[in-house]
Chains A and B, each alone.
Chain A
Amino acid sequence: MEYIENDIKKGIKLHILKTDKFKTNLIAVFLTTALQRETVTKNALISAVLRRGTNTMKTQEEISKKLEELYGASFDCGVDKTGDNQVLKFYIESVNDQFLPQQEENMLKSSINNLFEIVFNPLMENKGFKKEYVEQEKQNMKQRIEGKIDNKARYALDRCIEEWYKDKAFGLYKFGYTEDLEKIDEENLYEQYKTLIDTCKIDIWISGDVQQEIKKSVEENQYIENLGEREPKYQTQNEKNNCKIGEIIEKMDVTQGKLVMGLSVNSENEEEKYVALVYNHILGGSANSKIFQNVREKANLAYAASSSYFRYKDNIFISCGIEISNYEKAVELIKMQIEDMKKANFTKEELENAKKSIIAMIHTIDDEQDTGITYYFGQELSNNKNSLEDYVKKIENVKKEDIVKLANQVQINIIYFLKNES
């Protein structure tokens, strides 16, 4: 695969991931802006309203029919929290022309045009979005925000982050808050849309069997031509938060208790984040990890037990589903694993295995279109351009002493437990 970065205008980039491994082309537009309490709900809602209709395809039905005609080109959109940024993501995936049963119009160009149409040419009514769509999507968004509680494990993690990062950007829920929705109408939402489009960082992604000439069709697209240059308003530095929260226990109707522990890694620089990745893998990143082995395999306390490293925030979150009465036992056991890491109680083999697994994962980045885009977007956001080869080398270079040093910087900031009412 070949990665080519093109500047379209100041603040707007086109990234081409040229590869012939896939049957489809994947096109994406990412709008990145700083997470803020004032705009988080509106931005999330914008993404929902945009997919409802454009000035040429006025209804969702028309959009769907158009995409179905294109051999089921699939449109998808979502809202992500990436460190202290909120990212609105829009995708279209369509079959590469050579796999169609008959000669057709150029699928790639149609897909690009349709995607730009949805993001940059929303259906207008008077001075705002179409009122009906905004009202309906407010209702849907309310349901979606309230739906937080449906996946209990995910909910416990969200609550843990919310408590730890109270009043901070990272503590915000990516879809926003129900109490904001009442104040939103089609006009003030459209105002926010204009501000967003004029000031956010815009990244356009094309992954597939494409030629460099595609850059021209992107540049010449009328909606891209109309976009202005900008000094994009997004966070390149993520805010640290080292306050100690202690223990938080909440109750809900659950059969199994959900335990989440939040850790600060305190890496001293970007390079040390590669050490943190390996550290996390040994601690709880796989079936061989200390947490999985000790909490699940030896003590039989859990079915799911793992940890993950949030690179942008330099935090680790450990999650376990456990019998409620085993809460103290599980916390104790996990703390012992964290202590063990500090005392260098892990083998050379564990270290090598962790590195091998991470490297194997790096090798698969090229084999999945969306993973490829996510990887290069991560590089783009941290402004730290590493090729996949460099990434592999950095992991290979991690030594036992690096991990022990890092282990002694790690601290537990919060322990969150969701249990039943009784």
Chain B
Amino acid sequence: MKNTMSSLLAPKVSDRVLPQGGTHALNAGRRAKRRSALLANLNLAAIVVVLGPLIIYPLLRLICLSLSGTHGLSLQAYQTFFSNPETRGVIGTTLAILFASAGLASILGVLIAALLFFKPFPGVRLLTRFLELFVAFPSFLVAFTLIFLYGSQGSIGILLQRIFHLQQAPLNFLFGSGGVILAEVIFYTPFVVRPTLASFATLDMRLLEAARSLGAGLAMVAWRVVLPMAWPGIAAGTILCFLLTLNEFGILLVLGSAHLVTLPVAIYAAATVDLDLPTAAAGAVVMLLMSLTLYAMYRRVSRRGSRHGR
């Protein structure tokens, strides 16, 4: 904005001051500027041409396929997808798993971030670096390792059995919604911890001290001072966590059972097991709408947060 303003204003002022030769040079400069603007737009158009076959074209084909019936437009595929007995309650299951795991992960993530930031211990920096690397750790691997830990023959179950002298191993929840929620909480909590820590780092600590010295208790400082100021970062992290949990597939593939079918699993099964691409496409379009809505929310919140931060 500021750039365009100055480029608009500058020639006018100098037109008056400069003699004839100067305006020629200015015209040339203006022409050069116009040419570079044209080049920049051409460049952007070229990027769209490259991104087209990568993202736009496949998604358009997906939507077209989901809407095409034997005679032109139809919603047949959507009907088939949602009337399949195996996937009937699929949206309900997806949302239940989503709110249980992403909700827990958000609360735990904010709590852990607060503890790491306000009660640091030696090794906190190492731990936060580790949490940053966690993003590159594949999610299905987390689910897989839980089998060794919390499976019916896993170490933690056996440990509990030894401690409490039980007849049987006490843990038997892993393959099903319990295990899926546990794995998703473990995998997605760091995604909340990182942005929350980042937004804590921008806090003005003097305000916290002022609140404390004016007699506010810990809870009041947390609720009335820290939370409102760190809110954009926390909100962005939470929405991102919901989005990624909604899109999760690997964990469900490893730990999900036959009666735990979420949207991605149902889409995958329709496409590769039933080999019914139109039906899978219908489910995928529904899923696309859900995730893109969440993603639009995330972008709006995180942009507002970054502007706020500056």
Do A and B assemble together? no
Q: Which residues of B contact A (CB under 8 A)?
A: none
Q: Which residues of A contact B (CB under 8 A)?
A: none
